[in-house]
Amino acid sequence: MKIRQTFIALAVTAAALTAAPVLQAAEAPVAAPAAQTVKAGKPTVWILATGGTIAGVAASATEMTGYKAGSLGIDTLLAAVPQIHDIADCRGEQIANVASPNIKVDTWLKLAGRINELLAKPEVNGVVITHGTDTLEETAWFLNLVVRSDKPVVIVGAMRPATAISADGPVNLLNAVKLASTPEAKGRGVMIAMNDVINGARDVQKTNTLRVDTFQSPELGYLGYFEAGNPVFYRASTRKHTSQTEFDVTGLKDLPPVVILYSHVADDGTLAKAAVAAGVKGIVHAGTGNGSVPDDVFKVLKGAVEQGITVVRGARVPNGPTIRSVAYFEEAGLLKAGTLNPQKARILLQLALTKTSDPKEIQRMFDEY
Ligand code: SIN
């Protein structure tokens, strides 16, 4: 599909939004304002684009899965939802344009640096990041730990490509800009605005491969909802984040190598041995139940700790914390991930290892963030 046709499809989708009650001064969706237009008296929100399905293009409006993520640029995305310019002075910037399984640490470091730079400016009210949904929770959690500001940071994606009939990207972007413009959103950590709910970066998980309600915070709950298009908060995390963080990635080029080992019946420790041989600095073991480790794997992990590798017990079970279990796990120096899922435990361990390899200190970080 040519970009011009795509743009028209996007503009049509955007037009359907003008009747939304949130837009009190609903106007006909005439020519989309230029992405960098400045409107006096409105909050300033920067939108940093990284790709994903929200910028995805398929061959037809009914194609929901076979599409190319990360196809449209930031200017097209912003022009397709003219209503965001009624809420804020929206400035766009392209950081990357990839499907999110291809997000790498250099993109995270670039994002973190740019967000910290932007939010340090008094005239910037908030930042929105457009992102693929596959690894959205990981980028959200990384930023939750390294952004040093109270100002709202909102990540948004879509489950249906921009060309789809009933695409979810435009309304998600509109909600994200609303949230980033809202003073009550300050100090809540990095948030995810999708499907009319607000999730916090710490507890959110992608829970469904296909559905638009895929982002959930099972057990610990949403931070809030969009009610009649406006963000309303019901909950706040008690864990440290953003402005309370001790992590600083300024000047880093990479993060320490940490892998996840996914437990299964008859695991004989082959991958654990390979991880140690590869020279990793940390291992997150996604164990069965309350972070259980099969005896054959335990022998390898115990040896890894003795060599100075930090090992964290997480769980492949989607809900509930990984806590103290049999004494010999503690005695061997295996740490506990708490309610962080393995992919988030990995990120916290990477950041922890930029500061220390002291197991007590690292466990403290798992208990506080
Ligand atoms: C991606 O994560 O980039 C593809 C899937 C999506 O955005 O929903």
Which atom of ligand 1 is nearest the CA belonging to 99? Answer: 3
Look at residue 347 in the predicted model and tell me its pLDDT.
Answer: 99
Q: Which of 50, 53, 77, 214 to mutate to test the pocket of ligand 1 (most atoms within 8 A of CB)?
A: 53
Which atom of ligand 1 is nearest the CA belonging to 101? Answer: 2
The C-alpha atoms of residue 101 and residue 131 are separated, in whole angstroms, by 10
Q: Whose CA is nearest to atom 7 of ligand 1?
A: 132
Backbone angles phi, psi at 244, to 5 degrees: -95, 5
Examine the pLDDT at 13 and tell me if it is beyond 60: no
Output the six-digit token pair for 288.
């069965």
Cα of 199 from ligand 1 centre, angstroms = 18
Residues with CB under 6 A from ligand 1: 52-53, 69, 99-100, 132-134, 157, 159
Which atom of ligand 1 is nearest the CA belonging to 136? Answer: 2
Query: Residues 258, 284: contact at Cβ < 8 Å?
Result: yes
pLDDT digits (tens, 9 = 90+) for 52-98: 999 999 999 999 999 999 999 999 999 999 999 999 999 999 999 99
Look at residue 159 in the predicted model and tell me its pLDDT.
Answer: 98
Cα of 160 from ligand 1 centre, angstroms = 9
**Residues belonging to the active site:** 53
Look at residue 40 in the predicted model and tell me its pLDDT.
Answer: 59
pTM check: above 0.85: yes
Cα of 209 from ligand 1 centre, angstroms = 10
Question: In 3-state terms, what secondary structure has residue 343?
Answer: helix
Look at residue 29 in the predicted model and tell me its pLDDT.
Answer: 31
pLDDT digits (tens, 9 = 90+) for 309-367: 999 999 999 999 999 999 999 999 999 999 999 999 999 999 999 999 999 999 999 99
Which atom of ligand 1 is nearest the CA belonging to 70? Answer: 3
Cα of 133 from ligand 1 centre, angstroms = 4
pLDDT digits (tens, 9 = 90+) for 256-283: 999 999 999 999 999 999 999 999 999 9
- DSSP E strands in 288-356: the ranges are 310-315, 335-336
Query: Residues 215, 209: contact at Cβ < 8 Å?
Result: no
pLDDT, the chain, mean: 91
Look at residue 41 in the predicted model and tell me its pLDDT.
Answer: 87
Output the six-digit token pair for 311.
């090992």
